[in-house]
Each structure stands twice: as structure tokens, then as C-alpha cells.
Structure 1
Amino acid sequence: MTGHQWGYGEEDGPSVWHKDYPIAQGDRQSPIDIVPTEAVYDATLAPIALSYDLCTSISISNSGHSVVVEFDDVDDRTVIRGGPLQDPYRLKQFHFHWGGKGCHGSEHTVGGKTYASELHLVHWNAAKYKTFGEAAAAPDGLAVLGVFLETGDEHRGLHKITDALYMVKFKGSTVDFKGFNPKCLLPNSLNYWTYLGSLTTPPLHESVTWIVLKEPIMVSEKQMGKFRMLLCSGEEEDRKRMENNFRPPQPLKGRKVRASFN
């Protein structure tokens, strides 16, 4: 990782990332606007299979850009396979993107529609690469499962996360967060769109096979409010709320978006 400072403000936000990260203007940048009428149904796409039963979360932390739940990724007990993927990919972490109060903050949009928030479950190709860092820079190194959060009823599975957020209010704080299984954060249907893209945060490596689920999960406004209590500043710094931590959709540049459903 480079030492460049980046964020989501006017001076350090997505519109200027290309100055330090020229790949920001590359050919497979993410997120994108998924236009359902232009996505191609691909009958050869297998369903995605998630083996999350033995998954072991380790910690929850505030990166200054999001809240991150890390997993023990030393073996293949927690993987995503099938769909567009040739190999099983191990779960490394998940994090969220969200808007300000009353504003939507998903990264991907669907026919221009935005959601309250977007959950990213980040997996890496341990069958082919030795470390997460090596995979993150390789064209087929990462697989990210995107889940939209729509405002509505409370989400029971999210409580364990929203209840822990006060412990990681400040940038750089980390606490133990054991025994959380992200299976509870998935919708009933695993129908998805898939395309080749990038990380949505610097260094913006073009290494991600994106699998974006069509069906959102519900989250209450009160639960979203807890995310917006987080700070992207350290304890000794001026307080700066963590909100609108998303990158807007990037040009498709001729890429094909495939759908697992008709």
C-alpha cells in the first residue's frame, strides 16, 4: 500500500483519486450502474455456493473509511465458489458503504436506483496466490459479493454489528469480534449479476470479479444511524463523521454484465 492520503471529501475524494492512482481511469473500474435491460442472461452461469458454516470472525475495526469485520482465512473452510469463478475464493473481510442522514449510499446502482447501503464480502483466490496482497493485485485475485441494504424493517442479523459499532467509533480502533457468521446477512435469493471490475477504494486494483446480488436485505433507519455515528477521525483529531463513503458509478467501457437469472 502506498502512503497517499485519500478519503471521500472534496479535496481527497473519488474525483481526485486519479492523481495518485492513475488506474482510476482504467478500463475495468468499479462500481458501475447495472442496467438490467442491458445485462445478458447467461445460462452457463452456475449458482453461487457459499460455505460459511465454519467461519471464524476475528475482529471489527474502523479503518477510517468504513467498518471492517476480519476473518481467519488460513484454510478453505469459508469460501465462495461456483458462479463465474473457476476456483474457490476464501473470505477475508466484509465492510459497508453508506450515505449521510436520509441519503442513499450504495456504490453499485441498478438502472440508476441507489440503496441505503452496500455490503461487500471480500474473498481472495488462495488456490492460485500465496497471500491476500498478492491476490489483490492479480486480474483474477479477488471475488467480491455485493449485497444491497434497503431501508425498511430492522435486520436481526445486523444487530450484532450495530451493537458493536460504539466500540470502534474512532479511526484506527479494533476490538475482538468472534463467532459472527455472515450467512445471516444474505437475502433469500442468490440471483446475481456479475462483471469484471476493480476495488472501489484506492489502490483501485483491477482484480475483482464482482457478484452483485439482485435481492436486497432490509435495514432500519435506526440501524443505519448507528453507522453514521462512526468517525473517520482519530480520538485526538477534530471529529469528522463517517458518511457518504462511497465511490460513484464508473464508465462501463464496453464490459459485459451477465445475469444468472432471466
Structure 2
Amino acid sequence: MAQSVWGYDKENGPEHWHQNYPMAKGDKQSPIEINSKDVRHDTSLSPWHASYDPGAAKTILNNGRTCRVVFDDTFDRSVLRGGPLTGAYRLRQLHLHWGSADDHGSEHVIDGVKYAAELHLVHWNPKHGNFAGALKQPDGVAVVGVFLKVGKTPKPEMKRILEEIDNIKTKGKEAPFQHFDPSILFPKSRDYWTYHGSFTTPPCEECITWILLREPIEVSPDQMARLRSLSKNGENEPMCPLVDNWRPLQPVKGRIVRASFK
């Protein structure tokens, strides 16, 4: 298995990742299942807040593994603060993980419940100089996770991203994606769980403070179908639906999950 060809298929999927990326077998891996009975309500956890500059949005792309929106992170223009974090973390990109059907697709699982998709907003700590430096530090990265559930009243929030899907149908396609404020993707409630974990994709660096939002946002079956219409193959290859790009649950290994709510 070549360094660059990890994926989600039988031959290169999550159970093989550790062969090239030994960190994938580490003690602080993500995602995990969150069990309410094991969660510690922590009154010292403050509310988090995001101030995002819509002008920072740059492009949307299909890299064959996910749909990603990239932001300008050369200075503190879109930042996340508060919650379990110290200092301001810069927004770098957001991407999604989803299933082949509406009953699975999220990476984190809450009391046995899987959602149709999970949105990750990836931020890094500029005190470490650059993104590569942040990946080497335990407090280097903060990811806000938002669950997507399928319902009858789709939220307009996802519309903008999904409108662009037709322009990035195949692997390697990129399209301009300007003037977008990702904070519209947040649910009304700011309640969250937090724990220390890793990227859910190789090399699976253990540098992430996770902020998982308790309340999901709603998408329509139609909107989910659009995500599943992306191809993980290039333009001149057969259409191969990009689905089930989620990593299975990892062992908690004694980590404590804290909640901002009772």
C-alpha cells in the first residue's frame, strides 16, 4: 500500500492504515463513542465562540475522499475561541464524512446513535507557527464536529455547499467558493462534549481538542443524495460513488469526555 493511497475500501481502509501510519494505533485516537453515563459535566467549561470572516472562503474541492472547503488562514481572520481552548484557533478547512444510507455516516457515535453525516471544521493554533507545526503539538488543532440528521425540513445552511457539488463531481475537481460564513452551519444550541483525540484520517496525529456539538442540524434526504453523487474517481474513470468515508470507533483508553451541559 503506497503512502498516498489510503482510503475507505477493503484493501486500503481503516484496518490497514496503521501499516503505513503507526500513529493510527495510538492511545488517543478518534472517533469514539460518547456514552452519557461516562461523561463528566465540567462547570469550568466556558462557551465557545467563532468569529468567521466570510471573505476568507476560497475554494471547494473533491479530493476523492471528502468534499472540502478551504479558507485563507494566513492571519487571524476566521477564529474559534473559548470553550476548552486557550487562545484563538484559525479556521483552515471544513469537510464532511457521510454514509451510503441515512442511518450511518457520522464518525462519532452518541449513546449508540449514528447520524447520517458529520461536519468537521478544522482550526489550528497559530502559536505553533504554521499548520505543520501545530500537528506536532497536543494543543495544535481544534475541530468542531456537527452532526447531520435527515429530516423533512432541510435547513438552508447546507444549501450553499451542496449547490456547488455539480462543479466538483469527480476526484481532483476544485471550484471557487467565495463569500461563505460557516457559522451558519452551527445549531442553535452551543452545548458540547470535549475530549482529546486525533485526526480521523491518516496520519491520525493526536493533536486535536474535539468540540462536538450536542444538537444536530437537519438536512433533507435529497441533500444527502447530492453528497453521495460525488465520485471518488477522476473525470475519465468510471463513476464510483464517494460514500462511507468514515472511520470506525476507536478505543477510549481511559480518556475522560467532558460536557458543557448537564
Q: TM-score range by the shorter chain?
A: over 0.9
Partners of 2:54 and 2:179 within 8 A in 1: no
Partner of 2:61: 61
Query: Are 1:241 and 2:241 counterparts?
Result: yes
Counterpart residue identity of residue 211, structure 2: I
Partner of 1:205: 205
Which deviates more, 147-156 or 191-200?
147-156
Cα distance, 1:186–1:55 mapped onto 2, change above 3 Å: farther
Query: Are 1:182 and 2:182 counterparts?
Result: yes
Query: For residues 130-188 of structure 1, what are the alpha-carbon distances to aligned partners after superposition, in whole Å with 9 as ceiling and x for unaligned?
Result: 21122123211100000000101212011111110010011111110000111111000
Partner of 2:159: 159
Query: Are 1:44 and 2:44 counterparts?
Result: yes
Aligned-CA RMSD value: 1.2
Distance in 1 (CA, whole Å) between partners of 2:166 and 2:188 is: 29
Partner of 1:9: 9
Distance in 1 (CA, whole Å) between partners of 2:103 and 2:210 is: 24
Distance in 2 (CA, whole Å) between partners of 1:197 and 1:220 is: 30
Query: Are 1:106 and 2:106 counterparts?
Result: yes
Counterpart residue identity of residue 145, structure 1: V
Within 5 Å, give how 1:47-196 maps onto structure 2.
47-126=47-126, 128-152=127-151, 153-196=153-196
SS of equivalent residue, structure 1 residue 18: helix
Partners of 1:121 and 1:146 within 8 A in 2: yes
User: 4+ residue stretches of structure 1 with deviation over 3 A?
Assistant: none
Counterpart residue identity of residue 12, structure 1: N
Distance in 2 (CA, whole Å) between partners of 1:4 and 1:59 is: 22
Q: CA deviation at 1:76?
A: 1.4
SS of equivalent residue, structure 1 residue 164: helix
Partners of 2:147 and 2:213 within 8 A in 1: yes
Partners of 1:55 and 1:78 within 8 A in 2: no
Q: Unaligned 5+ residue runs, structure 2? A: none
Counterpart residue identity of residue 146, structure 2: V
Counterpart residue identity of residue 74, structure 1: T
Partner of 1:214: 214
Partners of 2:56 and 2:77 within 8 A in 1: no
Distance in 2 (CA, whole Å) between partners of 1:4 and 1:163 is: 29
Partners of 2:62 and 2:171 within 8 A in 1: yes
Q: CA deviation at 1:236?
A: 2.1
Partners of 1:79 and 1:90 within 8 A in 2: yes
Q: What percentage of residue pairs aligned between the two structures are identical?
A: 48
Partners of 1:46 and 1:260 within 8 A in 2: yes
Q: CA deviation at 1:238?
A: 3.0
Counterpart residue identity of residue 124, structure 2: W
Counterpart residue identity of residue 140, structure 2: G
The two structures have a TM-score, normalised by structure 1, of: 0.96
- Give the number of equivalent residue pairs: 260
SS of equivalent residue, structure 2 residue 38: coil
Query: For residues 187-237 of structure 1, what are the alpha-carbon distances to aligned partners after superposition, in whole Å with 9 as ceiling and x for unaligned?
Result: 001100000000000110001000000000000000000000001111122
Partner of 1:22: 22
Partners of 2:123 and 2:142 within 8 A in 1: yes
Distance in 2 (CA, whole Å) between partners of 1:119 and 1:98 is: 9
Counterpart residue identity of residue 80, structure 2: I
Partners of 1:106 and 1:115 within 8 A in 2: yes
